[in-house]
Amino acid sequence: MQWLEWSEEAFAEARALNRPVLLFLYASWCRFCRDLERDVLEDPSVQAAIGGRFVAVRVDKDRRPDIDARYAKGGWPTLAYLDDQGEMIASDAYLEAEALLERLELVSGYWVENRETIRRRLAESVDSGAGAAAREQGELSVEIVDSVARMLLESADPVHGGWGTQHKFPHPEALDFALIRWSQTGDEAMRKLVLRTLKNMQAGEIHDRVDGGFYRYATAPDWSAPHYEKVLDSNAARLYAYLEGAQALGEASFRETAEGIVRWMSATLLDPDTGAFRGSQDADPAYAHLTSPAARRERGAPECDPTVFANWNAQAVSAFFKAGVVLGRDDLRERALRTLDFIVDEMFDERGGVYHYWDGTYHLPGMLTDQAYVMRALIDAVQFTGRARYLDVARRIAAIALETLRSDTGAFYDTRHDPSARGGLRRRNCSMLENAVMAEALLRLSHFTHESDWADTARETLGSFARDYKSYGHFVAGYARAVDLWLHPPLHVVIVGPPERADARALQAAALAPYVASRIVQMLDPVQDKQLIERYGLPNAGEGHARAFVNRGRASYAETTDPQRLGVLMTRVERGA
């Protein structure tokens, strides 16, 4: 039996042989996926049944999130039974060999006897629900932000923090929104929710206090009994959450936990040759239960998936920029820049946009998740380094996304239109979280460029979810965060002066140091950015010392050349004093 890749050739073979397709959807870091492959799918009787009755297709869910979004049923592994056009007939999770043999016989027998009926039924269901659900524009109001805030508090674990019971995830985007809410309203319940979640999570078994970093999720409310894989995106997001917690709440232990995540990511996932981060580290419970570095060295660390994912690396870039400031380490800013440059140099082109993954070459261009997170990382690079050249790449990515992913209703599809797509890939989805990330990136791009069209696009994107956002549960926090950014213009600090000069750098450091919910820090060179300086109405600002201007929306509040006074001015404007 031979496993094929998802391809037109695989489905052509299924049609030629009049067989259904067995899709094995797995994650490289998933222990249950490896157990299924070793103990079940390599069983000779199972291989004979699959090889004699199906065309077998094997897909890594991280490399093909588009396939994963349409076929995974309740997690991984997923065994999906498809017709020869790629439409799903049935699906299973983990099955023992005997149960899988019965299932294979049942599905293949039903296919042989009823293939025309199955094809007709699936074609009718596709025709009745083709494409993404129609969306109507809704009003962006404070009620959206208020209702999400209430929902988060009501659904959170009041003892251990976080959300969920059987599967316990921290949901960093919800923590981010809670901190913003607390900083704006003084809501103590929000502050306590963030403290409770971050403290209990770092004290729980989900936190690897030997190597640093976090396992993917816990299966008990007190953050115990974790699944022991470590994945780049979840660790990058938790790093950002602990950095924000340290910055906003002054909790020293959060800083230590953030240092541990940085240490693990740098020692384990960072590829020194490329400067990019590998995707994940496998689960090994025996290794995880060892409590000393020496014992772990003797056993040997679990293997890593070397695949470089653009969206996950972009999240790491944003977190490392933040870490450079909060932890006072310029080396982390330089590490973030090297990773970002790898993405721009190796995983982006002017026509295709950002590609999804790299394994020696680039693959799968134009997916929303990659465009959105890389845009956000590029804008972060401008804020944390003052290098305006990254704005040009961000603009180009935004233009490509508008051209290839935008729907008629304002939301962005997750994938490009592909006239040759099969099965579930014929129907494009609109992910709320990825649309929220894209909208936030567009809003920030608008502030940095002083180009209002990007903000108008962001408003339409967010408005397309305004009527049904409540149906997304606590996953809606990222959306509420982006809506809040639209409703409340961020504190905007514009520093005019040569970026390499010490006085400009001192003002930048002062502007980035305190926790501010939606701050934008922009450095403008009097020579290179002359047109933008004039657009801001600051024609003589570059004369003499570097100068910082504090603004919110169209209102200009104060200016200073003194880094110490800048922090005071920002606090005053942020609090509305």
| pLDDT value of position 535 | 85
Contact 67, 6 (CB under 8 A): yes
Which range is least confidently modeled, 126-130, 326-330, 351-355, 410-414? 126-130
DSSP run (H or E) holding 521? strand 520-524
Whether the per-residue pLDDT at 131 is higher than 70: the answer is no
DSSP string spanning 52-108?
A: HH-EEEEEETTT-HHHHHHH--SSSSEEEEE-TTS-EEEEES---HHHHHHHHHHHH
Whether the per-residue pLDDT at 473 is higher than 80: the answer is no
Amino acid identity of residue 565, one-letter, is R
User: Residue range 430-456: average pLDDT?
Assistant: 96
User: Residue range 546-559: average pLDDT?
Assistant: 86
CA distance 472 to 105: 38
Q: Is 481 left (phi over 0), alpha (psi -120 to 50) or beta?
A: alpha
Contact 560, 566 (CB under 8 A): yes
| pLDDT value of position 542 | 61
| pLDDT value of position 527 | 87
Report the 10 Å Cβ neighbour count for 319.
28
Cis peptide before 20 (omega within 30 of 0): no
Q: What percent of the chain has pLDDT over 90?
A: 85
Q: How far is CA 435 from the centre of its chain?
A: 11
Whether the per-residue pLDDT at 575 is higher than 80: the answer is no
178 three-state secondary structure? helix
More confident residue, 123 or 478: 478
What digits encode the pLDDT tens for the residues 37-59? 999 999 999 999 999 999 999 99
What digits encode the pLDDT tens for the residues 89-99? 999 999 999 99
| pLDDT value of position 265 | 98
Distance between start and end Cα atoms, the chain: 71
Phi and psi at 501, nearest 5°, equal: -80, 145
Question: Which CATH topology does 8-128 take?
Answer: Glutaredoxin (3.40.30)
Q: Where are the domains of the chain?
A: 8-128, 161-268+277-296, 493-574
Question: Which CATH topology does 493-574 take?
Answer: Glutaredoxin (3.40.30)
Q: What percent of the chain has pLDDT over 70?
A: 98
Whether the per-residue pLDDT at 132 is higher than 90: the answer is no
